[in-house]
Structure 1
Amino acid sequence: MSTPQDPGSTIFFTLSIDGEDLGAFNGCDGLAAEVEVEAYEEGGNNGFVWQLPSRVKHSTIRLTRPLTPDTAKVAAWISSVATGVVRPTAQISALRADGSLVARWGLLDVLPVRWQGPSLDPASPNVATEVLEITHHGFTDAGAA
């Protein structure tokens, strides 16, 4: 008899670019895809309108975390874009607190589009956080566990 798994109340995410680990993140938003549809009205067929797929759009993914030493790896990746655009593959893994894998997504042709560092205000008690936004050309089955 199998034991039911915790649905992941304490999940964190890891990001790797072409196998290089960029560290753990505690927030991940934007893992989504949308198929655009074109309506086609066929002559003589009044019962329905054909809905034909035209293209797949992928949203920008936002990863957030408290400031860590891995921030330097993210900064180096973003800086490398200035010397020539290379669009590597990436993997985002969702892990439980014990490190066991919940899910994994492979991403094609990844590019960093935005990084926001922390606001370093000594009067503010907030945790210093960073946000990394990446874009991609689609999912790949290479992310399968």
Structure 2
Amino acid sequence: MASSDPITGFHFSVVFELLPQFSIDTKFQSVNGLKVTMETEAYAEGGQNKFKHNFPIRSGYQDLVLKRGLTSEMSGLAMWCTQAMEDFVFYPANLIVSLLNEKGVPIKVWYVSHAIPLSYEFSEFNAEENKIVIETITLKYNFYKEIPVPNF
């Protein structure tokens, strides 16, 4: 049964359509960038000086930023990013971002199309702090769309 309660964002999954894929490739600390905005063109009407008309031109999508703790596990996602950054070989990938309920069942799902890596970075190494190293992957993508999830 569907709930009208707001959804929390701490239980989620990210699945790439990439091969090879290892268990670490679905585990992330945060996902940011599911955002769409509309580009407009201003038009000044003759004789009307109070405002300009704004006409929609096209939608644009923000970069997707994925963060996770760095581990020594082999990662197909890391290999994909490295191949793009070092060898300039780009294979666009699709991915699915899902918000999950307490049982691990998707309640909201977004399909992200044609993603390529823009940056691949690691957080600071500092001998004076005992912090987990964070791996950050920034992706450019064409669009996303929400996939309807049936309510049980």
Task: Tell whether 2:13 aligns with 1:8.
Answer: no
Distance in 2 between residues matched to 1:140 and 1:76, nearest whole Å = 27
TM-score between the two structures when normalised by the length of structure 1: 0.75
Q: Is the 8 A contact 1:14 1:94 kept in 2?
A: no
Deviation at 1:68, TM superposition (A): 3.8
Counterpart of 1:25, as a letter, is: F
Partner of 1:79 in structure 2? 82
Choose the corresponding residue for 2:34, options 18, 31, 35: 31
Gap regions ≥5 residues in structure 1: none
- Evaluate the alpha carbon distance shift between residue 128 and residue 48 of structure 1 in structure 2; reply closer, same or farther with a 3 A threshold: closer
Q: How does 1:29-68 map to 2 (within 5 A)?
A: 29-43=32-46, 49-68=52-71
Distance in 1 between residues matched to 2:2 and 2:30, nearest whole Å = 29
Counterpart of 1:17, as a letter, is: E
TM-score between the two structures when normalised by the length of structure 2: 0.72
Q: Is the 8 A contact 2:18 2:77 kept in 1?
A: no
Partner of 2:118 in structure 1? 113
SS at 2:90 equivalent:
coil
- Evaluate the alpha carbon distance shift between residue 106 and residue 124 of structure 1 in structure 2; reply closer, same or farther with a 3 A threshold: same
Deviation at 1:18, TM superposition (A): 4.9
Deviation at 1:88, TM superposition (A): 2.4
Gap regions ≥5 residues in structure 2: none
Distance in 2 between residues matched to 1:36 and 1:4, nearest whole Å = 32
Counterpart of 1:124, as a letter, is: E
Alignment coverage as a number of residue pairs: 144
